[in-house]
Structure 1
Amino acid sequence: MSCSHCVVGKQYLGSPQGKTEVLGGVPCYVGTPTVEYDQKKALILLTDIFGVTFSNNKLLVDDFARKGYRTIAPDYLNGDPAPPYAWNNTEFNVVAWTQNHTPEVTRPLIDKGATSFAVTGYCLYAIDLACDQIVDVLIVAHPSQVVVPTTFETLAQKGKAPFLLEMGNEDVEIPVPQQEEIDGILGGGKYAPGYKRDCWPGCPHGFAVRGDMLNAEQFAGKAGSFINSIAWLELYF
């Protein structure tokens, strides 16, 4: 599925500290830690539909880099993110846009990169990478383009990456009953690599990257999901 909530949210002010680089022929926004870090590892950040030029996504890359992870946001949307007029435009046809950004188009651009990497995704396709066993650690906030239960049954059968799922209780893409269905597939030790789901009150789809920082619950959800992501990386990566 893909819904109007994929384009709704707040844009953040700030001065991105990373650089645009071409890696493996793919334009990327790269955040490099200012402290010593493991250069054999990289955190791949798969942006929301607004892509690598969107300030929120750049600032999120910078946040991970400040925690000691070389973080790379590849332009896996191939220079074709959701256009500016899509921002907070619930009439924008997200489904039509998505049809031009299927895994067949985006995956070749994602698959180029580090030999050991974790992935954190904020909407599209990150779970596919774990199903194909090409990612060491997986963190996903409010995914789109998934089917409950099928996507997660596939992950349970094929995945080897510890999986952290950050959700809001107002997410219309995967509402709470479906989140609990995912728990039934992966939780309680069923998914041996490791699984954890957090569900933040008052948080809609997109909160971890476009949440309203003037809303106390969304502020708590965005900050908390980032803290949990760092803890997951420290535990498994």
Structure 2
Amino acid sequence: MSDCCKTGFNWNGSPTGTETTLADKKTYVTGSSKKAAIIILHDIFGWTFTNLRLLADHFAKEADATVYLPDFFDGEVIEPDTMENPEKRAQFDVMAFIGRNSKDLRFPEIKKFSQALKAEYPKVGAIGYCWGAWAAFRLGADPTLIDAISMAHPSLVETSEIDAVKVPVQILAPETDPAFTPELKAHANKVIPTLGVYYEYVYFPGLTHGFAAKGDVTDEKQKFGLEKAKRDAVAWFAEFLH
């Protein structure tokens, strides 16, 4: 991961969901569907990040799903103003944070959460932002865990995780992304069409890593891109969860 993962903009708005505990994880939950659930696999700003909670509310209403945003960082919270505060950004050691939240440590918890939802809902989807995208791919390797996945500006993804996907997969990819490199993009676009799963790669020209969860809503291009990414993900889940 790179420094772009800790930059961005906070959005205005008041989330409308509630907090609960599921599969031993504190969780923001919104929506009332009994037919479909969506897991939001958060970025480094975690389960309390207002931007992601607002997106969860949109998904719940527009994709007719109950949406869950669990805490996969064991209560550690990075203050959202870090994105716009150069001093706080400089003090925040991204790689040390990732070391405390490694794949080996967190994926069993993510798998357990998905299993809990699959026991309750006929269809379950997952969308990962930045840090959470690798976990979406890993869930997607097992159709008993998840029915469809999406991800925006993925981080930490390995080619082996791309190669193993077995469910419909959507990638929301900005033009410039040091985390999801041109080589990884090319690998995904070469390999996934050979795997026999539905695949959608959506390219966002002129946009950069983080746009879908932390874009600047005062900038017309970024605002259009983040809203389009939301609409694309909603359409994806509406197609494959209903």
Shorter-normalised TM-score: what interval? 0.7 to 0.9
Indicate conservation of the 8 Å contact 1:26/1:75, yes or no. Answer: yes
* Structure 1 Cα separation of the partners of residues 100 and 59 of structure 2: 29
The alignment partner of 1:65 has SS state of helix
Using the size of structure 1 for normalisation, the TM-score is 0.88
Residue equivalent to 1:137: 148
Which residue in the other structure is 1:12 paired with? Answer: 11
Q: Does 1:170 align with 2:165?
A: no
TM-score, normalised on structure 2?
A: 0.86
What count of residue pairs does the alignment treat as equivalent? 225
**What is the CA–CA distance in structure 1 between the aligned matches of 2:38 and 2:81, rounded to whole Å?**
30
Q: Quick check: 1:114 aligned with 2:113?
A: no
1:34-57 deviations in whole A, cap 9, x for unaligned? Answer: xxx3x1431111111111111111
C-alpha RMSD of the superposition: 1.8
Task: Tell me the residue number matched to 1:70.
Answer: 66
Aligned mate of 1:234, from 216, 224, 238: 238
Q: Distance in 1 between matches of 2:219 and 2:167?
A: 33
The CA distance in 2 between the partners of 1:174 and 1:29, in whole Å, is 27
| Code of the aligned partner of 1:165 | I
**After superposition, what is the alpha-carbon deviation per residue over 1:185-207, rounded to whole angstroms, capped at 9, x for unaligned?**
113xx121211111101211111
In the alignment, is the contact (CA less than 8 A) between 1:209 and 1:222 conserved in 2? Answer: yes
Distance 1:233 1:46, change over 3 A: same
- Whether the aligned pair in 2 keeps the contact of 1:16 and 1:58 (CA below 8 Å) is yes
**1:160 and 1:152 mapped to 2: Cα distance?**
10
The residue that corresponds to 2:160 in the other structure is 150
Aligned counterpart in structure 2 of residue 127 of structure 1, from 108, 132, 137: 137
Measured in 2, the distance between the counterparts of 1:117 and 1:108 equals: 17
1:164/1:64 Cα in 2 relative to 1: closer, same or farther (>3 Å)? same
Higher mean C-alpha deviation, range 98-107 or range 80-89: 80-89
Deviations 1:91-139 (A, max 9, x none): 3321111010012332233222211410011022221111244211001
Corresponding residue to 1:179 among 166, 185, 189: 185
2:207 aligned counterpart, secondary structure: coil
In 1, Cα distance between equivalents of 2:205 and 2:183: 14
Aligned to 1:215: 219
Q: Would you say the 8 A contact 2:10–2:81 is kept in 1? A: no
Identity percentage of aligned residues? 28
CA distance in structure 1 between the aligned counterparts of 2:24 and 2:35, rounded to whole angstroms: 19
Deviation at 1:211, TM superposition (A): 0.6
Structure 1 letter corresponding to 2:210: G
Q: What SS does structure 1 have at the residue aligned with 2:229?
A: helix
Shift of 1:23: 1.5
Instruction: Report the counterpart of residue 53 of structure 1 in structure 2.
Output: 48
Q: Per residue, is there more helix in 1 or in 2?
A: 2
CA contact (8 A) 2:49 2:80 kept: no
Deviation at 1:225, TM superposition (A): 1.0
Contact 1:41 1:114 in 2 (8 A): no
- 1:29/1:73 contact within 8 Å kept: yes
Moved more, 113-122 or 82-91: 82-91
Structure 1 unaligned residues grouped into runs of 5+: none
Which consecutive unaligned segments of at least 5 residues does structure 2 have? none
